[in-house]
């Protein structure tokens, strides 16, 4: 995680989970990302065996050929716990030094005791990765915004999880009733990358970017002001087509480019 924050424009990336049902091999998807003018990708499905079943060396070659950077990698906590050295090696091959735990089940946020246990696991995983030159972050959905002893479970988790950064998903935070920009400001010194997603506050759901209540200009200003490295576009619903990538590239050009 970045220790000293300076105002700077963030880089704009694309979470490859957004194209999870595309039939093309991953190197082809990465080439499309580069052709769209998007600077980086965040991987989903990295584990000790590889990158969504593909060879990390081949994927690193595709990244280099497309002039696309590896902004981060989503890795299940259990995979880090069981084979931290192998996970770290795969990420290092990709040129990625930020590992993100993308999900913990709602049961982890039902009591103070369960939150503490989750924080202890995250801290231990962070130590394992730190020894290998990588940082660990946690990505929220909406289950972290239940109240535990009067405060959001997410706040309690982060207070206890030493050495763990936050990848705030702004859409899920907003859908849960939290204020995304307040969350961003509160944890700015622990945020290197954020998920750009939109939400409908009335229905409590996430929606495509631009169709909801997120203020893209305000997000851009906050990300720049807090010195956040990456703004990463993610789409979870709808058809998996390259139109999703094109829409992301347009958002990046309109709001997150010089």
How far apart (Å, rounded) are the C-alpha atoms in residues 31 and 201? 36
Does the pLDDT value for residue 108 go beyond 70?
A: yes
42-95 pLDDT, tens per residue? 999 999 999 999 999 999 999 999 999 999 999 999 999 999 999 999 999 999
Does the pLDDT value for residue 3 go beyond 70?
A: no
Does the pLDDT value for residue 1 go beyond 70?
A: no
Task: Identify the residue whose tokens are 């509160």.
Answer: 186
Any domain includes 126 = yes
Rg (CA), the chain: 17
The arithmetic mean of pLDDT across residues 17-32, rounded, is 96
How far apart (Å, rounded) are the C-alpha atoms in residues 85 and 209? 36
Give the E-state strand segments of 92-238 in sequence order: 98-101, 135-139, 147-148, 151-152, 164-167, 193-196, 198-200, 205-207, 230-233
The residue among 122, 76, 103 whose CA lies nearest residue 234 is 103
pLDDT of residue 6: 67
How far apart (Å, rounded) are the C-alpha atoms in residues 209 and 14? 13
Any domain includes 3 = no
Please tell me whether residue 207 adopts helix, strand or coil conformation: strand
Residues near 191 by beta carbon (within 8 Å), at least 6 away in sequence: 165, 166, 167, 168, 184, 226, 228
* Number of Cβ atoms within 10 Å of the Cβ of 135: 18
How far apart (Å, rounded) are the C-alpha atoms in residues 240 and 18? 7
Domain carrying residue 96: 11-255
What pTM was estimated for this model as a whole? Answer: 0.96
The arithmetic mean of pLDDT across residues 99-125, rounded, is 99
Domain total of the chain: 1
The arithmetic mean of pLDDT across residues 143-152, rounded, is 98
Any domain includes 194 = yes
Any domain includes 224 = yes
Any domain includes 60 = yes
pLDDT of residue 36: 99
Any domain includes 102 = yes
Any domain includes 5 = no
pLDDT of residue 237: 78
The CATH number linked to 242 is 3.20.20.150
Does the pLDDT value for residue 249 go beyond 70?
A: yes
Any domain includes 1 = no
């Amino acid at each position: 995680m970045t220790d000293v924050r300076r105002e700077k424009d963030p880089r704009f990336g694309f979470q490859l989970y957004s194209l999870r049902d595309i039939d093309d091999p991953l190197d082809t998807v990465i080439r499309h990302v580069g052709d769209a003018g998007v600077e980086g990708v965040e991987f989903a499905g990295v584990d000790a065996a590889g990158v969504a079943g593909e060879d990390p060396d081949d994927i690193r070659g595709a990244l280099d050929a497309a002039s696309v950077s590896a902004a981060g990698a989503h890795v299940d906590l259990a995979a880090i716990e069981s084979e931290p050295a192998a996970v770290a090696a795969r990420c290092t091959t990709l040129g990625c030094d930020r590992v993100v735990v993308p999900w913990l089940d709602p049961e982890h946020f039902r009591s103070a005791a369960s939150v503490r246990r989750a924080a202890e696991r995250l801290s231990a995983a962070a130590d394992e990765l730190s020894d290998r030159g990588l940082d660990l972050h946690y990505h929220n959905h909406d289950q972290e915004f239940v109240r535990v002893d009067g405060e959001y479970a997410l706040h309690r988790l982060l207070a206890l999880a030493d050495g763990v950064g936050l990848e705030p998903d702004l859409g899920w935070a907003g859908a849960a009733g939290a204020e995304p920009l307040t969350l961003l400001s509160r944890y700015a010194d622990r945020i290197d990358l954020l998920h750009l997603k939109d939400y409908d506050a009335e229905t409590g759901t996430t929606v495509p970017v631009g169709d909801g209540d997120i203020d893209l200009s305000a997000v851009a200003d906050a990300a720049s002001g807090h010195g956040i490295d990456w703004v990463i576009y993610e789409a979870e619903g709808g058809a998996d087509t390259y139109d999703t990538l094109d829409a992301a590239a347009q958002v990046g050009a309109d709001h997150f480019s010089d």
